[in-house]
Structure 1
């Protein structure tokens, strides 16, 4: 039985001087290690044991602007990764060839041999969700080296054609308990995308490690759930249930329990539908918050507790999944919070995001924090 946990004691900063950080990736492999994406610099940084940071590599496809750039990270071990056997998936009408900026080399960012089958790297792949010149896309790079000296090989295209805009780019990616890759895609500022099953925008997507449509997807496409505005957090509980956080517009932010094929209502409804006006075809969120108390991004589940990093709300929300009990922690203590993950030895890690152009950064921002959690 999963039991709830809560923060115990004061958080301590374990890294500082991050530039608009977005995603924390703790590597589940011998030697471990942690990678952090920086949205605007397109740099993936490695956290060293003494709290210092080094550049492991950059993602050339990233074109930062507004809320877009280098966003979510995920990892797939070589032992779990199939050899690619098909070209990457793209949205209807999109080109499978990576877009290049005017004046840039026309050589594709897909590594030679991708479509013919590329042998796995020694360690595995780091996946990144990036805003490129003309779209949002997912790429993957071989992870080279070892802890303290990680590097990134040439990128391969996994999926192109996710709508992009100055805001609502989504961007969280993670491998689920089923071994498939999930991605949150925002509506890219076009509300019609969310209710259009022919668009990848305003959706949660589910795909194989090489971007193909897996068996069991509800519409025979990459779409897993729809009717989303700007989902930015995904995590699975101990039962394998998928949860997602979502930015609302002016009224309500959401925490949703995701089911295959579910329509979560945007832009028809924001938050929980008013009494007497509910549409049985649309799924209400499990919880909602006023936008000035949340603007949720990353989420993490530890035992029976779901933790949700909040940007405008400047706090860490905790939701007890079995009872629905909700409370908040560190309100306005660290500014905007972008991501949260389970840390080592009974800890929780969370990251501030005050240097993204919307916060009020203090000296040394942004920071990665660690706090003990316990019953």
Structure 2
């Protein structure tokens, strides 16, 4: 576990900034650089005379009370100002106003951004001498101390016609039409590592116009943002954490670089702890059919118990932080021996407690009856398609080939390597696959989503006589943004015969809100790769505002459900044509920017999950039940679809099979399940994992 990053700044910083939308240059300025004072006034830059730097909201954050500063002019959304007829200076497309903190009338009062409320401390008068005067106090907008450096703050001071009190309006700089991303940062290094903190440094990226920001991530999760004038960040750590940190560069036009190489970081413990927890006591349990339910009393520890390991017949089958566990899918009429051990944060494990014997019933009485391993893998099985003859095809993410598996015999046959696939040392590679109705006899095309050296793309190739015809490969759609993480990748044919695809935002959040971009979307294609004429925006976009969706499934009513990774909350969504699901302004039920989840038109999720209990990838629907496979949560969720709601949400296989990547319906109405071993899940090295393909039998 980690705590939020603390950013090295001269001023207080808000949370991670949103990437900037590409803005057009504005013409038609008024005389002396002062804009007209109509409600339709254009958005322009405000440039400080001595430094020729722009009035900027620190790090592009829309968090209330984020400080105003001066910074190199880049034309980003946090440097564009509209002077309204009401005397406001609005930024972020009107979502925030320039505000005097605490409505102070004193010199040196801090200037910030804040939600617009129409009171006097957000009203300004632009004078002929290019000073900007607060209606509330009569003081002038001033660059602190007359300094000219990036990140210098803004405050209020007595009007004296000083150069650093003079501002000119300007059209957007050339960078607003910039489409070239910076180079990836390099040279990451950690210093001053302790159990609670560390200093991260890196070497500067380059850009055709100029780098504006660096975004810091941990295994796909945002940690924070710093301005380009600094190449360092102070990380706040939790003892014992183990993760990979990397940095992306971002320019003022919102173009995001590819990620740096990940720096693996193992955080030391603050003090040695060699004392194991006490032995769990009071193990008890009940059996209902082929499901056993266990409970026990809490252990104690000199520092703290963090979880319990559950053993069945002397083999570890799961783990939990609670005082109970449900073991599903047992064989009928079989006696099992259970024991439990406690563990602490430093890996000290108690002896196991007393043994409990439980005998299963004669038949399955729960929704899940059994689980059987069908095959093992040394790579990551990502996409899976069940064929009418009972065999399955699956993709190997890092090995880049397609495998045909005969579940009856366990025989695996490689059908060929997909050309032009490249990993990202994160989540990219050979991802989703899908087959159309009538495959393979009437329609022999296999559809594949993969990462290439330049983008993510959807291709198809023929499956003929049990083999892939590599020469037949057709690129149906390219130009989907790629990065180390957030590549999306699931494919699914709908009952309408169209192909649906999930795409990640490529770690460029505003792309998810831009319907002209392919990133952060659910896409809909004709099988030949053309956009259907009834798509809502005249292109491939079916829904938007998604972060990193990786699950798609249709229910019996033909409705599309989607599973999406969040930064702190995962989502299960019911997808509607043209729907906006809110990212990056809204995540689950958490507002992040602008008016957040209260924004009119945003579609709310049907269910949310904390990352630590979820990080879910694949979903499947069998009958009226929705199944969700989770990675960090190491569990399978099952819920019932009731109208447009998900009810009776339950958890299965908690820790039993580790990280669960994919769930798919079988031909006979059960489930396929694939795992994704943590050892090779965050790199692009082939055949360095230990994974499984299992068949889950459901109650008829």
- C-alpha distance in 1, partners of 2:681/2:530? 36
Matching of residue 50 in structure 1 with residue 401 in structure 2: no
Highest CA radius of gyration, 1 or 2? Answer: 2
- C-alpha distance in 1, partners of 2:689/2:374? 12
Deviation of the 1:144 alpha carbon:
1.4
Which of residues 348, 358, 370 is equivalent to 1:10?
A: 370
Summarize the Cα distance change of 1:358–1:127 in structure 2 as closer, same or farther, 3 Å threshold.
Answer: closer
Deviation of the 1:358 alpha carbon:
4.0
> How many pairs does the alignment contain?
322
- C-alpha distance in 1, partners of 2:482/2:366? 37
Which of residues 247, 270, 289 is equivalent to 2:565?
A: 247
- C-alpha distance in 2, partners of 1:233/1:253? 12
Q: Deviations over 1:71-116 (max 9, x none)?
A: 0001125x68xxxxxxxxxxxxxxxxxxxxxxxxxxxxxxxxxxxx
Matching of residue 373 in structure 1 with residue 698 in structure 2: yes
Summarize the Cα distance change of 1:139–1:356 in structure 2 as closer, same or farther, 3 Å threshold.
Answer: farther
Q: Deviations over 1:28-66 (max 9, x none)?
A: 4xx342111011010101102311311011101211122
Q: Deviations over 1:282-301 (max 9, x none)?
A: 11100000001111111100
- C-alpha distance in 1, partners of 2:490/2:596? 34
Which of residues 15, 31, 36 is equivalent to 2:394?
A: 36
Deviation of the 1:348 alpha carbon:
1.3
- C-alpha distance in 2, partners of 1:271/1:316? 20
Q: Deviations over 1:113-155 (max 9, x none)?
A: xxxxxxx987511110010010000110100113xxx334321
Q: Which runs of 5 or more residues in structure 1 are unaligned?
A: 81-119
For the residue of structure 2 that corresponds to 1:62, the secondary structure is coil
1:59 matched residue in structure 2: 418
Summarize the Cα distance change of 1:220–1:135 in structure 2 as closer, same or farther, 3 Å threshold.
Answer: same
Q: Which runs of 5 or more residues in structure 2 are unaligned?
A: 1-364, 683-687
Deviation of the 1:262 alpha carbon:
0.4
- C-alpha distance in 2, partners of 1:240/1:122? 23
Deviation of the 1:355 alpha carbon:
5.4
- C-alpha distance in 2, partners of 1:277/1:190? 19
**Contact 1:144/1:153, CA 8 A, preserved across alignment:** no
**Stretch deviating more after TM superposition (303-312 or 152-161):** 152-161
- C-alpha distance in 2, partners of 1:215/1:276? 32
- C-alpha distance in 1, partners of 2:512/2:366? 35
1:220 matched residue in structure 2: 538
- C-alpha distance in 1, partners of 2:390/2:656? 29
Matching of residue 300 in structure 1 with residue 620 in structure 2: yes
Summarize the Cα distance change of 1:197–1:333 in structure 2 as closer, same or farther, 3 Å threshold.
Answer: same
Matching of residue 140 in structure 1 with residue 460 in structure 2: yes
1:333-352 to 2 correspondences below 5 Å: 333-352=656-675
Moved over 4 A (4+): 120-123, 273-277
Q: Deviations over 1:185-214 (max 9, x none)?
A: 000011111011111000000010111110
For the residue of structure 1 that corresponds to 2:620, the secondary structure is strand
**Contact 2:521/2:546, CA 8 A, preserved across alignment:** yes
Summarize the Cα distance change of 1:6–1:242 in structure 2 as closer, same or farther, 3 Å threshold.
Answer: farther
With the length of structure 1 as denominator, give the TM-score of the two structures: 0.81
2:677 matched residue in structure 1: 354
1:86 matched residue in structure 2: none
For the residue of structure 1 that corresponds to 2:612, the secondary structure is helix
- C-alpha distance in 2, partners of 1:212/1:371? 37
For the residue of structure 2 that corresponds to 1:192, the secondary structure is helix
**Contact 1:355/1:366, CA 8 A, preserved across alignment:** no
2:654 matched residue in structure 1: 331
Deviation of the 1:324 alpha carbon:
1.7
Deviation of the 1:18 alpha carbon:
4.0
**Contact 1:171/1:232, CA 8 A, preserved across alignment:** yes
Summarize the Cα distance change of 1:227–1:57 in structure 2 as closer, same or farther, 3 Å threshold.
Answer: same
1:75-224 to 2 correspondences below 5 Å: 75-76=435-436, 124-146=444-466, 150-154=467-471, 155-224=473-542
1:72 matched residue in structure 2: 432
**Contact 1:273/1:284, CA 8 A, preserved across alignment:** no
For the residue of structure 2 that corresponds to 1:153, the secondary structure is strand
